[in-house]
Amino acid sequence: MALLTAHKRVLHADLQGDRIRAASGSMVAVEGNVEFTSAGMGGGGGLRAALKRAVAGESLSLMDCAGHGRVHLALDAMDVLVVDLAGDTLTVESEHILAHTEQLRLDVQFAGLRGVTSGQGLATTTVTGHGQVALVSEGPVMALEVAPGQDLVVDPDAYVGSRGQLSMNLVSGVSWKSLVGEGSGEPFSLRFTGHGLVLVQSSER
């Protein structure tokens, strides 16, 4: 079975006759006999998914890597984190997905108003199944725990993804009135309540 290992800012994907999907243009080197084919957009196949993507603006261009050998993948020298999924769901901004193993299913989930304000699309991507997904981030990812009575507020640009039973609300951080006529700071933030983990990167771009 294909194995993903993070090696600093490069992802090693070891293939044994199977395939993985990776962000288009992320291949930096390859050892062995691996074939690359464009796999179209992520977020699930079919017309319904395509329509959702068109509405949501959540786009992710992927390629299939199949064969025997090791593929080295990287994006803009960003940090790489491999997340193991065992039947549960990871919610992630599509731009942070570097690669995932074949058995995982990607889908687009509407995220309400959040996308409107962060400018990252109206929806986020969910990754479900058994396998591995590799994420890229600016700076190392921190896993912040959310529990009842322990809400977390995150800057939309620092948000990478989340897992667990969480609900996300939009809050205005800086009082709205005081921002009139001034540049943006943290006009909107995401408040997470429930039980789970929120992945946050160390840069707000």
Positions in the binding site for other proteins (CB under 8 A) = 81-84, 88, 138-145, 147-155, 158, 163-165, 173-175, 177-179, 182-186, 189, 195-205
Q: Please give the Cα distance from 10 to 98 (Å, whole number).
A: 10
Q: How far is the CB of 94 from other proteins (least distance, A)?
A: 17
**Separation CA 99–CA 8 (nearest Å):** 15
- Measured from the CB atom, the residue of 66 and 179 that comes closer to other proteins is 179
Distances from the Cα of 184 to the Cα of 32, 117, 118, angstroms: 49, 11, 12
For residues 46 and 181, which CB has a smaller minimum distance to other proteins in the complex? Answer: 181
Closest approach of Cβ 79 to other proteins, in Å? 9
Q: Are 61 and 106 in contact (CB under 8 A)?
A: no
| One-letter amino acid of 136 | V
Considering the complex, what minimum distance in angstroms separates the CB of residue 160 from other proteins? Answer: 10
Nearest CA-CA partner of 83 in 163, 28, 139 = 163
With CA atoms as reference, report the closest residue to 98 among 76, 65, 74: 74
Closest CA to 100 of 79, 128, 76: 128
Do the beta carbons of residue 24 and residue 42 sit within 8 Å? no
**CB nearer to other proteins: pick between 63 and 125:** 125
Of the two residues 2 and 146, which places its CB atom closer to other proteins in the complex?
146
Q: How far is the CB of 3 from other proteins (least distance, A)?
A: 16
Q: Minimal distance in Å, beta carbon 110 to other proteins? A: 22
Distance CA 144, CA 139 (A): 15
Shortest Å distance, C-beta 188 to other proteins = 11
Neighbouring CB atoms inside 10 A of 133's CB total: 25
